Amino acid sequence: MASTELEKKPSQAIDPADEPSVEWGWHGGFPKATQVAGWFSVFACLIMLIGNHQGILSGGGHFKTEDAWLIIIAVVLVIGLLIDLRRKKTAWRR
């Protein structure tokens, strides 16, 4: 009579003692939560341009270093999020 238990592969590259999730095959992430958190971070960076410092959008009329940092960080986040979206969209082609 055939056994009803699943056979475990003896040649696993990852030891289940180190990573218990390898036994049941989950090594995923949280793609929707990552996108939501990323776009929220972009919004938070850009909304900080309107703050209590005298930057370009706060009535100071001068471009400050902190404004440049906030814009650069927001742009890098947007590029990363768009690359992530494109990678997920074309993942089935691999």
Overall number of domains in the chain: 1
Q: How is residue 53 written in tokens?
A: 């410092």
| C-alpha triplet 37, 40, 63: angle, nearest 5° | 135
pTM of this prediction exceeds 0.75: no
* In a domain? residue 8: no
Structural domain range at position 80: 30-89
Half-sphere exposure of 71 (CA within 13 A, CB side): 11
Which of 29, 32, 33, 11 has the alpha carbon at shortest distance from 21? 29
Tell me the per-residue pLDDT of 25-56, one tens digit each, with 9 for 90 and over: 666 678 889 999 999 999 999 998 887 677 66
Which of 34, 32, 31, 12 has the alpha carbon at shortest distance from 21? 12
Q: Say how far apart CA 63 and CA 55 lie, in whole Å.
A: 6
* In a domain? residue 6: no
